[in-house]
Amino acid sequence: MAVLVRISATGMDQATYDQMAAGLHELVKKQPGFIIHVAYQTADGFGVGEVWESQAQQEAWFNEHVKPNLPDSSAMSTEHFQLHAVVQP
């Protein structure tokens, strides 16, 4: 079952996201189960939304490639939502 992952990074700005994401975008495209990634500014920081084929695939990716590069992971919250439908072009 596909999953939507919503990550809120309180206090993160666009420059920090851009610095972290520079090496990760090409890498994530090659990860098994990855479908889409979006990023956006929020009132108190930065948000990331991703769709993966499974929560386990997303968590493995995040723990291996993203978490070690975070300036402060305590300012982050993650939510997972099981998706009913994913429509792709």
Residue 32, domain member (yes or no): yes
Q: Could you tell me which residues are beta bridge partners of residue 3? A: 52, 82
Q: How confident is the model at residue 67 (pLDDT cuts 50, 70, 90)?
A: confident
Q: Could you tell me which residues are beta bridge partners of residue 7? A: 48, 78
**Residue 19 sits in which domain range?**
3-82
- From residue 26, give the alpha-carbon distance in Å to each of 1, 5, 44, 55: 24, 19, 27, 20
Residue 25, domain member (yes or no): yes
Query: How many structural domains compose the chain?
Result: 1
For residue range 9-60, what is the model confidence (pLDDT) as tens digits?
A: 999 999 989 998 988 999 999 999 999 999 999 999 999 999 999 999 999 9
Residue 89, domain member (yes or no): no
Residue 88, domain member (yes or no): no
- Whether the model pTM is above 0.85: yes
Mean pLDDT of 73-89: 90
Residue 17, domain member (yes or no): yes
87: which residues sit within 8 A by CB, 6+ positions away?
A: none
Q: What is the CATH number of the domain that holds 17?
A: 3.30.70.100
Residue 48, domain member (yes or no): yes
> How far apart, in whole angstroms, are the C-alpha atoms of residue 33 and residue 49?
15
Residue 87, domain member (yes or no): no
Q: Give the pLDDT confidence score for residue 1 in this predicted structure.
A: 86
Residue 76, domain member (yes or no): yes
Which value, to the nearest 10 degrees, does the dihedral of the CA atoms of residues 57, 60, 64, 67 take?
100
